[in-house]
Structure 1
Amino acid sequence: MTKPPRKPSKPLLSEADALLRSRPRRRRDPAQPNLPLDPMPDRIEPCLALLKSKPPKGDDWVYEIKWDGYRLSVHVEPTRIRILTRGGHDWTDRFPAIKQAALWLPVGTAILDGEAVVLDQQGRSDFGLLQQSLGGRGGKKSSSDAVFMAFDLLYFDGHDLRNSELDMRRHLLEDLVPAGELGDIRLSEQIEADGDQLLASACELDLEGIIAKQRRAPYRSGRGGEWLKIKCIQSDGFAIVGYEKSKASFGGIGRLLLAARKGDELVYVGGVGTGFNEQSAAELREQMDKLMIGKPAVDTGKKRNAVFVDPKLVAEIEFRAWTHDCKLRHASYKGLRETSDNAAIHEIE
């Protein structure tokens, strides 16, 4: 649980041994007159990282560890705290510890961008543990185990920071959320290092990968290339367009049929038949049975015993490479992404 702010150290004494007391600290009022204030956005579409196979080169890039959780924005407003998912859903009540930590931030108004994660015993983010703490996919439980790793500051005391460079936004964020503190809102620390060496170190520690960010770039919503993600093992979201039936497999799922996005269309990229257990296959089959359609949404070629579904489910798939005809190689199913997380589908360049 979140701990309250530390009490001050020993009081200062004057020559007369009388206590010297400072004026009580008050939160800055964003509505005070005669200041050029920017209206506080109700919601900001997040900046998304573009998947790359190698880190970029050059001094214009800084790095962070890639966290595996739910992307959130924490809104500190004059009369309330709001915690929004990437898709704009209000999940304030599902993260009570993060909400309480936001109330203690020394700021009148702010919007923090970051990731809710649950850490394992080695301090690594574990998406499965996060989903369990929230009651599983589609669950309604609240999580006091999740912490918020803050990596950007978009609005601060009445000022919209999106047009400011990343270095400036980070400077203000680090004043608000100091490095090294272990509360329920923590700083996702930047690392200035050689990208290749940092990626190698992250992979040795069994982390998911790293994020590269252009230090002089403003904050732009969408996947514009100012942020890049480089993973130790390639994984991304793919739309489920059907499955091949098998009596010998969990849930009767022999192989999932998957699609990626190419321009404005979905294209078939092969299937995945590993990574399921009894529980995950049963949950997946239940979801797919609600979405069955007569004709495939994409051309999957001839398939035996295939059942086609409306491509509304996004599966996180781990894979090693691509074939020459753009099919996944050595793919493994990792789980379903939340609808409220507005999960992205892999884009083929």
Structure 2
Amino acid sequence: MGTRRMRKSAPDFVAPQLATLVDAVPVGDEWLHEIKYDGYRLVAIKADGQVRLLTRNNNDWTARFAEVAAGLERIPATTAVIDGEVVAFERGGRTSFQMLQASLEAGEGHPLSYVAFDLLHLDGDDLRARPLTERRASLAALLRGTRGRGKPQVSSELPGSADVLLAAACRLGLEGLISKQRDAPYTSGRTRSWLKIKCGMRQDFVVVGYTPPKGSRVAIGALLLGVLEPRGRIRYAGRVGTGMPDALLRSLGRRLASLRQDKSPLSPLPPGLPVGVQWVEPTVVVEVAFAEWTTESRLRHPSLIAVRDDKPARQVKRDRVKPISAVEDTMPEVSGVVISNPDRIVFPEAGLTKLDTAKFIERVAPLMLPHVAGRPLTFVRCPEGIADECFFQKHWTGQVPDTLDTIPIRQGSGEVRRYVVVHDVAGLVTLAQWGILEIHLWGARADDVEKPDRVTLDLDPGEGVNWAEMRSAARAVHTLLETAGLESWLKTSGGKGLHVVVPLTRRSTWDDVSDFARAVAERLASEAPSRFVSVASKAQRPGKVFVDWLRNTRGATSVAPWSMRARPRAGVSVPIPWSALSRVKAGDQYTVRALSRGKLPTDAWSEIDQARQQLSKQVLAQIRG
């Protein structure tokens, strides 16, 4: 929490949890089952009396569904984040995507409904770490208090045996079922705690080109389709020409004409393509039903279902159906990532295995991702556990897993090296699978590494410094920053010390933040030389707190919020409010073992990115005194 008390608010966006496709419905009381709706998946965020409806790609579709948003504005909450789907119901109770699109495109006026199936935030409380059953109960209670037209509804849990449910869904012409683990947290990205079972073959494809129309056909003959593969390649999947009425053909024709390009986006270019293909930029996503995949990986008997503007092309991959036995036999997978050697002891003193660390990362991922996602990362890696060799790793070499990204960054030597960037929980869990225990982050984002947005002051106690002196040191830093008009946030280091973090708007250079951090350290050391030291010399540090400002030079990193530390107690770097500092007894007070049980602490840094402050000349002058 910052230096001023601010009202808790909803996050700007939460990436939705996605289901893994399996070949059968899971059995057992630990699963609940819902209808798989055929609509637009939208996260509803209420704040300041208004509701925004966001797609999974973080596009704002509020204007498209103004009546739905108006209904959600009437929920009795100051702030809320709800996961759900906008649908159009037919008279028989089935959802119809065609009716939904017709209501949008042709204004045919079909009534639309928002079916809510999860509650992620409510009035400042982050509910994602709580069990699904608890979140659904809170959701039902919230929506019972909603009145008026356009009232959202809660998705129904289906009673009955798994096989009977699926057979009934398919007989009624539904798309399938969604099965969810009752006690699982809400985790952004694709997971094994949500499963989808389809009644037929249908999935998303990216449009890579089209053929000219023949005869009385208008605008387009057929769409050429592809799916993404590793390294960004697009592989040809076939073409579809049915399921497109004239109005859709004309609309798609105009849209694709604006995306025309000479070069094929396919790799490799398949033989036997039709004559006259017009290639397009691969940004349009369509949903297609088909009978099966051929042995040549082509679609048999495809038919267009819909254009999916709510889904990003970069995520369109071939659906791989996993056997349900892989889930029911509790294979060592965490958030879809296979964990090898799950029983390897990583922290001998704490008795924690590699699987324990992966599950811990999955548990804290909703709290960690806002601070880690989209930043260049470095690591402390212990492939055999902390009892064996550990090493610091800055760059990723070799093959990059599909769950991770890398970005090129030019080093001071002029050499370009690749740094890891994660986007979701699967990426974080992949790090645990690779034996990474500590995650360290740049003070800048990957989209502009030359514009830092966080200053980290690492308060490191020298020999003989007790914890009361550490608390006093942190408060001194807090007060100095406050006198310069800067808000600051606090966290334990997970080791011996504390970290004070100052968020910034992205206007400063690395020289600016380095000069500022050094000025803070030198001011403290000059005013209280018996308590603080601003140089790294170990000879000068006994009995003093080293204000490590060197974390703020280009390429330097600091341990991420919620990261484990590769130390015997398996401490965790946990954000805490300034008001709680007096209750913290040590830098490693919070441990993996303790945080893996019960309720996680409230997110004390939920508002850090809302701060709008910069390092002006006046601020620097105030710090230097």
Show the 5 A alignment for 1:140-159: 145-159=111-125
Report the more deviating stretch, 325-334 or 54-63: 54-63
For residues 152-184 of structure 1, the C-alpha deviation after alignment (integer angstroms, 9 at most, x for no partner) is: 0000122101111211111211212249x9953
1:225 maps onto 2:196 in alignment: no
Report the more deviating stretch, 95-104 or 233-242: 95-104
For residues 131-160 of structure 1, the C-alpha deviation after alignment (integer angstroms, 9 at most, x for no partner) is: 222235xxxx79782110000000012210
Read off the aligned partner of 2:190 and give its amino acid letter: R
Q: Could you tell me the TM-score, scaled by structure 1's length?
A: 0.80
Picking from 35, 46, 53, the partner of 1:65 is 35
Aligned equivalents of 2:39 and 2:92: distance in 1?
16
Q: CA deviation at 1:107?
A: 2.5
**Which residues of structure 2 form unaligned runs of 5+?**
321-625
Aligned equivalents of 1:95 and 1:311: distance in 2?
27
Higher helix share: 2
Picking from 117, 124, 145, the partner of 2:87 is 117
Aligned equivalents of 2:13 and 2:237: distance in 1?
34
Aligned equivalents of 1:44 and 1:109: distance in 2?
14
* Alpha-carbon contact 2:88-2:110 (below 8 Å) kept: no
Picking from 272, 285, 306, the partner of 1:335 is 306
Aligned equivalents of 2:258 and 2:112: distance in 1?
31
Aligned equivalents of 1:269 and 1:175: distance in 2?
46
Show the 5 A alignment for 1:292-311: 292-298=260-266, 299-305=269-275, 306-311=277-282
Percent identical among aligned pairs is 38
Aligned equivalents of 1:38 and 1:226: distance in 2?
29
Q: CA deviation at 1:89?
A: 2.6
Read off the aligned partner of 1:133 and give its amino acid letter: S
Q: Could you tell me the TM-score, scaled by structure 2's length?
A: 0.46
Aligned equivalents of 1:151 and 1:348: distance in 2?
23
For residues 51-71 of structure 1, the C-alpha deviation after alignment (integer angstroms, 9 at most, x for no partner) is: 333323433321111111111
Show the 5 A alignment for 1:173-322: 173-178=139-144, 184-248=151-215, 250-251=217-218, 253-264=220-231, 265-298=233-266, 299-305=269-275, 306-322=277-293
Aligned equivalents of 2:28 and 2:57: distance in 1?
33
**Which residues of structure 1 form unaligned runs of 5+?**
1-32
Going from structure 1 to structure 2, the CA distance change for 1:61 and 1:266 (only over 3 Å counts) comes to farther
Q: Which residue of 2 aligns with 1:11?
A: none
What is the alpha-carbon root mean square deviation over aligned residues? 2.8
Q: Which has the larger radius of gyration?
A: 2
Higher RCO, 1 vs 2 (CA within 8 Å, ≥6 residues apart): 1
SS at match of 1:223: strand
In the alignment of these two chains, the number of paired residues is 310
For residues 216-274 of structure 1, the C-alpha deviation after alignment (integer angstroms, 9 at most, x for no partner) is: 22111112232222222221110111123342362354432211123343211122232
Read off the aligned partner of 1:292 and give its amino acid letter: R
SS at match of 2:134: helix
* Alpha-carbon contact 1:62-1:193 (below 8 Å) kept: no
Q: Which residue of 2 aligns with 1:106?
A: 76
